[in-house]
Amino acid sequence: MSLLKDKRFLLLPILLVFTNQAFGMHIAEGFLPASWSIAWWVVFILVLIPGYLSLKKNIAEDHRKKLLFAVAAAFVFVLSSLKLPSVAGSSSHLTGVALGAILFGASSMSVIGLLVLLFQALLLAHGGLSTLGANAFSMAVVGSFTAVAIYGLGNKLKFNQRVNLFSAAFFSDLMIYVFTSVQLAAAFSGETTGFTEALVKFLSVFAVTQLPLAVIEGILTVFVFELIKKQNLLPVSGSILTRASNSSFTQEL
């Protein structure tokens, strides 16, 4: 069956129309000190290069994966661009990286993360170029490896696949915001404000408010994955899932 025959996929372009007013919780341009911005760029590039090579090899094995990769990328773009109200009166957003991480491997998502965040920084004033390394590392690296680890743990415990997918997306979303809080606390702790105090403040704003959104992301991830299965886009009975979920952090790098 063709992906275009399922009318539910037509919702993606509709959602994209409203992303021009999206300003979620990416670290804004110029917000981090230059030294921290450079450091996070360097660390992210160390994952991006092997991630790109891994993704290139993965897609070369089966050209049908190009369409699957496009779906995973669109999912990340839509969810990470939409601004949603939080329970604390601020705003936040979903991320969508768990789906692609489970399908293609965690390090491969560094490519999608870079493209999505670059587009948002240039056209949506969402995040920034100087902070792109920090944002990409938290979303596309920490979030992706968390998703793969949780999904792999669920497989070992023989949980239902839908439970695994939901859990992977749920904890991935939360860890992105926890790690972003760590990044901010490390950059802005000093003599008057210690790291722990700064971390608690950032966590109280970001991590706690993400709980309901993490639940929503888990549900959406399961929903989209089921659509992908119905469209027969998973090559050879989901072998990509098996390979990705069994990947460890060291294997990914």
- Encode pLDDT of 106-139 as tens digits: 999 999 999 988 888 888 777 778 889 999 999 9
In a domain, 221, yes or no: yes
Mean per-residue pLDDT of the chain: 78
In a domain, 23, yes or no: no
Residue 133 token pair: 């390394």
Domain boundaries, position 203: 29-252
- Encode pLDDT of 237-249 as tens digits: 333 465 544 443 3
pLDDT of 219 over the 60 cut: yes
In a domain, 55, yes or no: yes
In a domain, 155, yes or no: yes
Distance CA 216, CA 188 (A): 31
Residue 33 has φ and ψ, to the nearest 5°, of -60, 150
In a domain, 14, yes or no: no
In a domain, 172, yes or no: yes
In a domain, 5, yes or no: no
- Encode pLDDT of 2-58 as tens digits: 444 444 444 433 333 333 333 345 787 788 889 999 999 999 999 999 999 988 888
Distance CA 209, CA 25 (A): 11
* Residue 236's CATH number: 1.10.1760.20
Q: For the chain, give the number of residues.
A: 253
In a domain, 11, yes or no: no
- Tell me if 146 sits within 8 A of 169, measured CB to CB: no
| pLDDT > 70 in the chain, percent | 76
- HSE of 34, CA atoms in CB hemisphere, 13 A: 0
Specify the residue for token string 């119905």. Answer: 230
pLDDT of 100 over the 80 cut: yes
H or E stretch covering 91: strand 91-92
Indicate the number of domains in the chain. 1
